[in-house]
Amino acid sequence: MGVTMKDIKELRSRTGAGVLDCKKALNKVDGDIEAAVEHLREKGMAAAAKKAGRVAAEGLVSLNISDDRKKGVLVEVNSETDFVAKNDNFQTLVAEISEHLMQSEAETVETVENESWFKDENETVSDVIKAAIANIGENINLRRFKRVETDGYLFGYIHMGGKIGVLVEFANEFTEEKAQTAKDIAMHIAAINPEFLDRDSVDAESIEKEKKIYKEQMLNEGKPEHIIDQIVEGKINKYYTQVCLLEQPFVRDDDKTVGEILSENDMEVKQFTRFEIGEGIEKKEEDFAAEVAAMTKNQ
């Protein structure tokens, strides 16, 4: 018996593969749907393996916070292009990975990838990502995540549709009166990108590095050596206002620091995490004209 449209439709719904690929797979295994599913998975895994080496520096940052604001996850999943980052299937995948992480206790990406998928214990997270690679046609990479559980409360913010994500842990109990300020603090972190919470959070190595740079600048400018240390100390204080969240001028009212805004609202930030999509990944520079020429050359 030949392959029917009903068979193709069922296979497509189970695998997400294209109509032509489904038809070819069914013909190859004499219409056996289970065998066709296996064939497409094997084919997909092979295709995914080929794409795994390609640079993925676009994608989405996703935020998931429980209703009681006691548990939250910030996750970055990368794709190769911004076009795919806007794809419904990719966005669903990222949302589901975020949901999986909310239920997981794993601390590393590698451990997560080897876990049974929360929607189907017969698949691992890695299997699901590889199937998505085969279906979408680009390398996809679970890059990093931060899970926080707190006695206080969590608030977050997603900027530019998933280009930047922030998860903030506050002390004490959440009230609706604090919601706007909590959101404003998360937005400030997204916009200004502080490196540390406060002065005590700044590592000694960073301070020594800054002092050395400032001292070299002063010497090069011919400043008298006996006043250099005093000038450097002033510059270090200025450095704190640039990199420490609590000392930064508040983005919505730069006459006050973030610390002052928190104090006025009886709030305290315990920690924060900020992910910006693709930060730190070396992106391949594409010559678009050359790429188009190469594509059309053999047509």
**How far is it, in rounded angstroms, from Cα 209 to Cα 206?**
5
Query: Does 170 lie in the same domain as 214?
Result: no
Query: Does 175 lie in the same domain as 68?
Result: yes
CATH number for the domain that contains residue 127 = 3.30.479.20
Residue 1 pLDDT: 57
Composition of the chain by helix, strand, coil, percent to 5: 50, 20, 25
**How far is it, in rounded angstroms, from Cα 237 to Cα 244?**
10
Query: Does 70 lie in the same domain as 46?
Result: no
* Better pLDDT: 81 or 100: 100
Mean of per-residue pLDDT scores for the chain: 89
Query: Does 176 lie in the same domain as 65?
Result: yes
How many domains are contained in the chain? Answer: 3
Specify if 188 maps to a domain: yes
Residue 19 neighbours by CB distance under 10 Å:
12
Helical axes 125-136 vs 88-103, angle rounded to 10°: 170
Specify if 25 maps to a domain: yes
Specify if 107 maps to a domain: yes
CATH number for the domain that contains residue 26 = 1.10.8.10
Residue 15 pLDDT: 67
pLDDT band of residue 134 (cuts 50, 70, 90) is confident
Specify if 19 maps to a domain: yes
Specify if 139 maps to a domain: yes
CA distances from 159 to 36, 51, 114 (A): 42, 29, 30
Q: In what order do the strands lie in the sheet with 269-276?
A: 153-159, 164-170, 269-276
CATH number for the domain that contains residue 213 = 1.10.286.20
Residue 36 pLDDT: 86
pLDDT tens-place string over residues 220-273: 888 888 898 899 999 999 999 999 999 999 999 999 999 999 999 999 999 999
pLDDT higher than 60, residue 295: no
pLDDT tens-place string over residues 25-75: 899 898 898 888 888 766 664 454 455 557 678 999 999 999 999 999 999
pLDDT higher than 70, residue 159: yes
Domain that holds residue 219: 203-243
Query: Does 96 lie in the same domain as 224?
Result: no
Residue 46 pLDDT: 43
Across 4-8, 43-47, 98-102, the highest mean pLDDT is recorded for 98-102
Residue 45 pLDDT: 47
Under 8 Å between Cβ of 115 and 125: yes
What does R_g of the chain's alpha carbons equal in angstroms? Answer: 25
* Better pLDDT: 170 or 50: 170
**How far is it, in rounded angstroms, from Cα 42 to Cα 61?**
29
